[in-house]
Structure 1
Amino acid sequence: MQQQVQRFRFLGLLVAFLMWGFGHAQQNMNTANSYKKRVLETTEVDFLSSYYSQDGDNAAVTGGRGTEELTDVTGTIIISIPLSDDDVLIIDAGVSAYTSASSSNVDPFDGNERADSFVASSGASRSDVWTNLSGTYTHSTDDRNTMYSGNLSVSSEYDYFSFGFGGAFTKLFNEKNTEVSINANIFLDTWTPIYPTELRPFASGANGLDNGFFSNKTITGNTDYSPTFENFEDETRNSYSVGLGFSQILGKNLQGSLALDFVKQDGLLSTPFQRVYFADVADSFIQEFQLADAIEQLPDSRFKVAGGGRLNWYINESVVLRSYYRYYYDDWGINSHTASVEVPIKLSDKFTVYPSYRYYQQTAADYFFGYEEALSTNTFYTSDYDLSKYSANQFGMGVSYTDIFTKMHIWKLGLKSIDLKFYKYDRDTSFSSSIVTAGFKFVMD
């Protein structure tokens, strides 16, 4: 109950912030100076949607061995409102609904099929909905060389709630050829921990086999099932980030930028429903499903550093080369390299295509163990392959349509652009995914 009250307080604060923005917009639109060029001429509305699917054989929910099949459908609306000549309010609201074979096996016994880590359970745990609402207020000075912004956000799903706030400062120099920026954000998150169903009877050292859950189930293999399990005491996760940016126009056709980001996380960084199987513990099964020896245990702090750069070369009026590189490090032992290239090709005044390629590779976290590789004597362990050593390739293709005159209208909205993208992603493990996205930008008449 206390967590729900806290969530409503956070949501009320964000709604009040957005209502103030709307009221301020009406006031300033009536008093704006007609001779000053506005930061944003008129209200813009973006409708975004995506369809994502993935598959693989290394699900963290089932200890690094099991189906990773998942589908997700997302819808987002972003409204950018000019409050005055100098001020803009951006409201971002999104909903994401997914169905996951992996998460369905948090409780593999709540469906009609026999329990198996490679088969999705048909129970309630196989789907969830994530919602998000955020607001960003931006102010630019008269000379447009300085910009300040602040933001608030809330997001929620069945077992997780997040409240965030932050701000940014941007300064332009050298006749706007040089830009420096700094941003900072804080996210205060709360878990409602959901544990693997077979472990719950063993909480607080109880003899779980006497629990009613096991009364109508037959354990095979090691029948003396005795997992390592305690509920997490800390159910919060706090994240603090600071980002530095530098951008420079290097020539008539060349622009470069650098970015450096720092992130500190504290609290519950383990995922409560991700199982681990030990190499030195005999296997226990119900039906075809292997019972957990423990749940993921990770340190309660993590420090991340990422530095990267972009270089954009405007080859001619039809072709641009966009390149990017980033190096990442954290104190869990992961080092990674990301490199990508995108080549927008302008086919006409209205149509542009942009093929892209991205390469990624990382080392494994110090606490990563594959299926039945960890030992019960280890302090920290996870079988989440997102923390394993791997490399990945992503190929993409996009097409955009732009009409600066907004000839096509829907009600009072003029269609300014349409963007369609497709990306195919493959790791050198068994994991692969694909995503299709669509974006429609409208301007208010």
Structure 2
Amino acid sequence: MKNILFLGVCFLLAQNTYCQNDKTSEYKKRVLESTEVNLLSSYYSQDGENAAVTGGRGTEELTDFAPSINVAIPLNEDDVLAIDATVSAYTSASSSNIDPFDGDQPADPFVASTGASRQDTWFGLTANYSHSSDDRNTIISGNLSFANEYDYTSFGFGGSLTKLFNQKNTELQLKANVFFDTWNPQYPIEFRNSFTISDYDFEGESNFASGYTEFSTLNRNSYSLGINFSQILTKNIQTAFMADFVMQDGLLSTPHQRVYFADIADTVIENFVIGNDIERLPDSHLKIALGNRTNFYLNENFILRTYYRYYTDDWGIDSHTFKMEVPVKVGLKYALYPMYRYYTQTQADAFGAYNSLLSTQEFYTSDYDLASYDAHQYGVGFKYYDPLSKFNLGGFGLKSINIEYNYYNRTSQNFTAHITSLSFNFVAD
């Protein structure tokens, strides 16, 4: 949830001629002066050779287009309602191989199937209500969320309490969220009752899934608690410390991700090796993240923004994230901001590469998101800002335009991604 930092301005009006006594009225500036609309679209593409759907071996080619709209509506001087809606339409070569035999070419982990599972749409909706006290030193907010995709549905709710102290130079926020997800498992085709190995010409063993069972629990619950502390140190330096704690339970494995064991012989149909089992992970997951964000105002044209986060969990992963951004003001209305992000993590205890795990293990996965790797992300953004909103569209003035491009790569894996986003912020006249 976004922090709301507001400098309230209050003063007493002159004697109210409509009153029958000498009482004064208090004027409050609105938390949000008028309705704001933010239109955002992003395009994401990736490629790699370690798809989790095919057991850590195969194409990871994916494209995603995600338009969204965010509307912030002032209900009165103190209250704001924000509604965010996002639609994400993607095409995935790896998920198409949930059933590699439904296409019009030989099944192959490095080739996308042309079947129905190659594409889908995700939809998410969030509503957030916030209330600010008269002195603007206390902010209370609550939110509701819903998301749906072909294989899961999620409901969530949460809230936050923000307190400002020391003439609003110090801010403390407590936030909590709960999500209840339900899976609609899409198991790989070879693990479905409709699949019969004798219907295919195969090589190797026919008892490829002798110990396989479907998941009995289809729910996943997530509980998060966050603490943020922000302090203006000087007129040029602001810092914030963040701590997040997340506890998950239920079905934390991904049902359509295969695993291949070193102690079970391969079964091959066409160019595709049939999975030995699906991913099996613990049914609980504790995550802890500690971070700091510090901004330095260098001069009227340059700002340095820095970010660091340390993450650890009880699955064996430890990670470090470093990010730096340098907005450069160009004239009165333009800003250019190059950015760089470095990420490194250790591998999860249950991780193993293709055909390296053993069937005797309790937990196993070949999802390279849980492997050990380093990653670099290079980006640049451009912002146009018009505080007077001279450009008008349907009663809304254009407040800003933002465009970003980022290039991402994992140095220890052959994985790359490109992310482009464009946003328009409008404010009602």
Q: TM-score, normalised by structure 1?
A: 0.89
Give me the whole-angstrom Cα distance separating, in 1, the residues matched to 2:173 and 2:98: 43
Q: Which amino acid aligns with 2:92?
A: S
How many residues get paired? 404
Structure 1 stretches of 4+ moved >2 Å: 211-216, 221-228
Secondary structure of 1:60's aligned partner: coil
Quick one: which of 420, 424, 429 aligns to 1:440?
424
2:208·2:275 contact (CA, 8 Å) conserved in 1?
A: no
Give me the whole-angstrom Cα distance separating, in 2, the residues matched to 1:176 and 1:162.
36
Q: Select which of 252, 255, 260 maps to 2:243.
A: 260
**Alpha-carbon distance in 2 for matches of 1:239, 1:119:** 35
User: Which structure 2 residues correspond to residues 340-351 of structure 1 after superposition, within 5 A?
Assistant: 340-351=323-334
Q: Contact 1:149 / 1:169 at 8 angstroms: preserved in 2?
A: yes
Q: Is the 8 A contact 1:156 1:162 kept in 2?
A: yes
Aligned counterpart in structure 1 of residue 173 of structure 2, from 181, 188, 191:
181
Structure 2 residue aligned with 1:170, among 158, 162, 167? 162
Task: Say whether residues 1:100 and 2:92 are aligned partners.
Answer: yes
Identity percentage of aligned residues: 58
Question: Deviation string for 1:237-259 (max 9, x for gaps)?
Answer: 00000000000001010011100
Residue 126 of structure 1 pairs with residue 118 of structure 2 = yes
Partner of 1:412: 395
1:377 to 2:360 alignment: yes
In the alignment, what sits opposite 1:8? none
Give distance in 1, aligned partners of 2:66 and 2:53.
Answer: 23
Distance (whole Å) between structure 1 residues aligned to residue 384 and residue 195 of structure 2: 60
Distance in 1 between residues matched to 2:135 and 2:279, nearest whole Å: 53
Structure 2 residue runs without a partner (length 5+):
1-24
Q: Does 1:82 align with 2:74?
A: yes
Q: Which amino acid aligns with 2:402?
A: D
Q: 1:223 deviation in Å?
A: 4.0
Closer/same/farther in 2, CA of residues 373 and 411 from structure 1, 3 Å limit: same
SS at match of 2:117: helix
1:294 matches 2:297: no
Q: How does 1:34-73 map to 2 (within 5 A)?
A: 35-73=27-65
1:320-339 alignment runs, 5 A limit: 320-339=303-322
Q: CA deviation at 1:216?
A: 3.3
Whole-angstrom distance in 2 between the partners of 1:338 and 1:51: 23
Question: SS of the residue aligned with 1:414?
Answer: strand
Is the CA contact (8 Å cut-off) linking 2:144 and 2:156 kept in structure 1? yes
2:150 is matched with which residue? 158
**Is 1:424 paired with 2:422?**
no
TM-aligned CA distance change 1:317 to 1:113, over 3 Å: same
Q: What is the aligned partner in structure 2 of residue 398 from structure 1?
A: 381
CA distance in structure 1 between the partners assigned to 2:239 and 2:209 by the alignment: 58
Counterpart contact for 1:319–1:345, Cα < 8 Å: yes
Shift of 1:213: 3.8
* Cα deviation digits, residues 336-372 of structure 1 (max 9, x gap): 0000100000011111000000000000000000111
Q: CA deviation at 1:411?
A: 1.2
Which of 223, 241, 246 is the matching residue for 1:240?
223
Q: Contact conserved, 1:227 with 1:292, CA < 8 A, in 2? A: no
Tell me the alpha carbon deviations over residues 268-314 of structure 1, each in whole angstroms, 9 at most, x when there is no partner.
00000000000011111110000000000000000000001011000
User: Is the counterpart of residue 359 in structure 1 residue 351 in structure 2?
Assistant: no
> Contact (CA 8 Å) 2:191, 2:209: kept in 1 or not?
no
In structure 2, how many angstroms separate the alpha carbons of the residues matched to 1:169 and 1:227? 52
Could you tell me how far 1:199 is from its partner in structure 2?
A: 1.3
**For the residues of structure 2 that align with 1:381 and 1:361, how far apart are their CA atoms?**
22
- The superposition leaves residues 10-64 of structure 1 with CA deviations (integer Å, 9 ceiling, x where unpaired) of xxxxxxxxxxxxxxxxxxxxxxx99320000000000000000000000000000
AA of the residue aligned to 2:428? M
Q: Distance in 1 between matches of 2:203 and 2:276?
A: 15
Contact 1:135 1:153 (8 Å CA) reproduced? yes
Residue in 1 that maps onto 2:3: none
- The answer to which structure has the higher helix fraction is 1
- Opposite residue 440 of structure 1, the aligned amino acid is F
Do the aligned partners of residues 212 and 139 (structure 1) sit closer, same or farther apart at CA in structure 2, a change above 3 Å counting?
closer
Distance in 2 between the 1:401 and 1:98 partners? 29
Which TM-score applies when normalising by structure 2? 0.93
In structure 2, relative to structure 1, the CA distance for the partners of 1:217 and 1:138 (3 Å cut) is: same
Amino acid at match of 2:109: S
Work out which of the residue numbers 138, 145, 150 in structure 1 matches 2:137. 145
CA gap of 1:108–1:336, structure 2 versus 1, over 3 A, is same
- The 2-side partners of 1:35 and 1:238 are apart by 45
Counterpart amino acid of 1:37?
K
Tell me, in whole angstroms, the C-alpha distance in 1 between the residues paired with 2:211 and 2:231. 55
Give, in angstroms, the shift of residue 215 of structure 1: 4.4
Give the match for residue 291 of structure 2: 308
**Cα RMSD between the aligned structures?**
1.1
Measured in 1, the distance between the counterparts of 2:406 and 2:47 equals 15
Q: CA deviation at 1:227?
A: 4.1
Name the SS of the counterpart of 1:198 in structure 2: helix
Gapped runs of 5+ residues in structure 1? 1-32, 202-210
2:106 paired residue number: 114
Q: Is the 8 A contact 2:322 2:342 kept in 1?
A: yes
- Cα distance between partner residues in 2 of 1:226 and 1:345: 58
